[in-house]
Amino acid sequence: MFNYSNILTELRKDGYYRERMAVDSPQDRYIVIKNKKVLNFTSNDYLGLANSDYLKEVFYKKIRKYGVGSGSSPLISGYSTQHKELEQELTRLTKLDSTVVVNSGYLANVGLINALSDKDVVILQDKMNHNSIIEGTRLTTSQLVRFHHMDYSDLSEKIKNIKNKIKIIYVDAVFSMTGESSDLKKLSSIASENDALLVVDDAHGFGVIENSSKNFPSSLSKYHKSDIDIDAYIGTFGKAVGLFGSFISGKRDIIELVIQKSKPYIYSTALPASLAGTILESLRYIKKNTSLNIKLSENIKIFREIAKKENINIQESETAIQTIIVGEPKKLKKIQDSALEAGMYIQAIRYPTVPKNNDLIRVSLTSSHSIKDIERLLYFLKTI
Ligand SMILES: Cc1ncc(COP(=O)(O)O)c(C=O)c1O
């Protein structure tokens, strides 16, 4: 018989057992864990908005007007004018045809794949794609083909051999565990040469990636519109936007298909209208307050400069996610514990989130960090 307690014993023995840390404060530059105030390097709240006074005021006002719950799924009565306005704004920001707001980034991927899937569909994925994309595909009758991480020759080779099927290339725009960015121009041309769709999950780029143009910060804003052709684009509200929820923008028929066919969309209670309205204000706030993204970019640059100067072996990444491979889960856990003792919370990422022996420290930088915070972390990491 299947022995569940053996599985737990094995996890403990191998150093892969996960413990949740109960935070007793708002998400911010400092958080309180086990009655101790610690400098937070683990949050995806990249623009420091999760505890913003402005957004809290907006949320209170929206709650007074729309209440706290949505009462039902979007196709019954859970969809509101707040959701509709938010979708219209996201369509303008992404410059795609249409948008649907969904309950989380995880469900955006599971739900989109659910709507697009069929036994004649093949979904080609980068090996380092987020779990929701891989697991979302495994839940369907579609075929899953994985290509080596950011290896576009491997993708071209694999896609060429697929005949008489609907092909979908599906990637993270920014890889959540390494911070590397996919080449969307190259992927667009592979998709077009092979008559495939291209779907991009920009959970860690939406609201984050700064550029000099007037576009809303995202991985799309780095490219000329004519250089990329995206069929569906996913962004989340739980990271840079500071709240919770997600959306899918894209070609009109694809979004329509999600609304008509996606089971996680159809059979789940909608986000509250008060939350949808606050998300909309957060997007406007990000667009207006460009200094947040400028500060985040400066922090990323400073982190990398000091790390290199101090010979700390950081991996390649131009985004807010910076990593150091430790390779050994028990050693990694010890580093995390001693960082906590020193007043800093860093994330230890272990197998199976990353491949075996690639266990790593993942540092999330935000616009709230000061240069002193970054120096403090790096001088600590230098001693390990
Ligand atoms: C690439 C990617 N997609 C989707 C998600 C899930 O988003 P959410 O937290 O909104 O469910 C994450 C979360 O970390 C992610 O990294």
| Structural domain spans, the chain | 4-40+290-382, 53-288
172 lines ligand 1 (CB under 6 A): yes
pTM, to two decimals: 0.96
Nearest CA to ligand 1 atom 10: 105
The CA distance from 337 to 346, in Å, is: 9
In this predicted structure, what is the pLDDT of residue 3?
Answer: 84
Task: Please say whether the beta carbons of 119 and 138 come within 8 A.
Answer: no
Burial (CB < 10 A; 0-12, 13-18, 19+), residue 110, is buried
Per-residue pLDDT of the chain (384 residues; tens, 9 = 90+): 678 889 999 989 887 888 898 999 999 999 999 999 999 999 999 999 999 999 999 999 999 999 999 999 999 999 999 999 999 999 999 999 999 999 999 999 999 999 999 999 999 999 999 999 999 999 999 999 999 999 999 999 999 999 999 999 999 999 999 999 999 999 999 999 999 999 999 999 999 997 766 889 999 998 998 999 999 999 999 999 999 999 999 999 999 999 999 999 999 999 999 999 999 999 999 999 999 999 999 999 999 999 999 999 899 999 999 999 888 888 888 999 999 999 999 999 988 888 888 889 999 999 999 999 999 999 999 987
Query: What torsion do the CA atoms of 43, 44, 48, 53 make, to the nearest 10 degrees?
Result: -90
What is the atom index within ligand 1 of the atom nearest the CA of 175?
A: 1
Token digits for 272? 């509250």
pLDDT tens figures, 97-110: 999 999 999 999 99
Q: Considering only CA atoms, which of 256, 263, 317, 184 is closest in space to residue 169?
A: 184
The CA distance from 80 to 270, in Å, is: 9
130 lines ligand 1 (CB under 6 A): yes
Burial (CB < 10 A; 0-12, 13-18, 19+), residue 89, is middle
Nearest CA to ligand 1 atom 7: 105
* CA torsion through residues 353, 358, 361, 363, sign: negative
353 lines ligand 1 (CB under 6 A): no
What is the atom index within ligand 1 of the atom nearest the CA of 202?
A: 1
45 lines ligand 1 (CB under 6 A): no
Alpha helices in the chain (DSSP H): 4-14, 53-66, 81-94, 105-116, 131-138, 152-160, 184-193, 252-261, 263-266, 273-288, 291-309, 329-341, 371-382
In this predicted structure, what is the pLDDT of residue 210?
Answer: 79
Q: Which of 42, 101, 106, 177 to mutate to test the pocket of ligand 1 (most atoms within 8 A of CB)?
A: 106
- Tell me which fold the domain 53-288 belongs to: Aspartate Aminotransferase; domain 2 (3.40.640)
176 lines ligand 1 (CB under 6 A): yes
Nearest CA to ligand 1 atom 16: 176
Q: For residue 383, report the distance from its CA to the centre of ligand 1, in Å.
A: 32
- Largest Cα–Cα distance in the chain? 60
The CA distance from 183 to 228, in Å, is: 10
203 lines ligand 1 (CB under 6 A): yes
Q: For residue 130, report the distance from its CA to the centre of ligand 1, in Å.
A: 7
Q: Considering only CA atoms, which of 320, 284, 268 is closest in space to residue 104?
A: 268
DSSP of 163-227: -SSEEEEEEESB-TTT--B--HHHHHHHHHHTT-EEEEE-TTTTTT---SSSSPSSGGGGS-GGG
In this predicted structure, what is the pLDDT of residue 146?
Answer: 97
In this predicted structure, what is the pLDDT of residue 212?
Answer: 67
In this predicted structure, what is the pLDDT of residue 1?
Answer: 64
| CATH placement of domain 4-40+290-382 | 3.90.1150.10
236 lines ligand 1 (CB under 6 A): yes
104 lines ligand 1 (CB under 6 A): yes
In this predicted structure, what is the pLDDT of residue 354?
Answer: 85
| Cα three-residue angle 201-303-15, rounded to 5 degrees | 70
The CA distance from 211 to 192, in Å, is: 26
In this predicted structure, what is the pLDDT of residue 356?
Answer: 84
Nearest CA to ligand 1 atom 15: 203
